[in-house]
């Protein structure tokens, strides 16, 4: 073999190796894109399910009160820089408004365990 034919064969081999690497890289990118689409789709579905569950819980609870309504002073639960400060009072550091608790107890509640069903009408679990 002449030197020129050896160079041509080496060049052809190098070009073939580059083509193989390009093809493998393109295949890998396609697989990663498909995986990214699958993951983002799953996250979107999960977010929709979480929103639906939160909506269902809120409508099932349908309470007129929240925990802060039963505190004499809500200042200990104020957020500072995104965090609640450490409590300094005795015990939990919160003062309960006993009159509000007694009033809520006197009123009672009408909450019932929700009955959830799937689209086909079958009973759904919590």
Of 24, 41, 62, the position where a domain reaches its end is 62
How many domains are there within the chain? 2
Strand 83-84 versus strand 79-80 pairing type: antiparallel
Which tens digits make up the pLDDT trace of 9-57? Answer: 999 999 999 999 999 999 999 999 999 999 999 888 888 888 888 777 7
Asked if 85 and 101 sit in the same domain, the reply is yes
Within-domain flag for 11: yes
Asked if 52 and 82 sit in the same domain, the reply is no
Torsion sign across C-alpha atoms 77, 78, 83, 88: negative
Asked if 52 and 74 sit in the same domain, the reply is no
Asked if 38 and 11 sit in the same domain, the reply is yes
Mean pLDDT for the stretch of residues 95-112: 83
Q: Is the pLDDT of residue 99 over 60?
A: yes
Asked if 44 and 67 sit in the same domain, the reply is no
Q: What whole-number distance in Å separates Cα of residue 29 and Cα of residue 23?
A: 10
Within-domain flag for 32: yes
pLDDT at 64: 59
Q: Which domain does 22 fall in, by range?
A: 1-62
More confident residue, 31 or 107: 31
Within-domain flag for 120: no
Asked if 68 and 54 sit in the same domain, the reply is no
Residues 97, 71: contact at Cβ < 8 Å? yes
Q: What whole-number distance in Å separates Cα of residue 83 and Cα of residue 49?
A: 28
Give strand pairing partners of 80. 83
More confident residue, 107 or 10: 10
């Amino acid at each position: 073999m002449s030197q020129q034919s050896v160079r041509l064969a080496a060049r052809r081999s190098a070009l073939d190796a580059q083509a193989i690497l390009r093809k493998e890289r393109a295949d890998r990118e396609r697989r990663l894109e498909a995986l990214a689409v699958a993951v983002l789709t799953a996250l979107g579905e999960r977010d929709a399910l979480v929103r639906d569950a939160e909506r269902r819980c809120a409508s099932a609870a349908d309470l007129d009160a929240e925990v802060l309504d039963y505190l004499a002073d809500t200042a200990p639960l104020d957020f500072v820089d995104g965090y609640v400060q450490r409590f300094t009072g005795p015990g939990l550091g919160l003062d309960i408004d006993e009159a509000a608790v007694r009033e809520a107890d006197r009123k009672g509640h009408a909450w019932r365990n929700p009955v959830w069903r799937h689209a086909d009408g079958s009973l759904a679990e919590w």
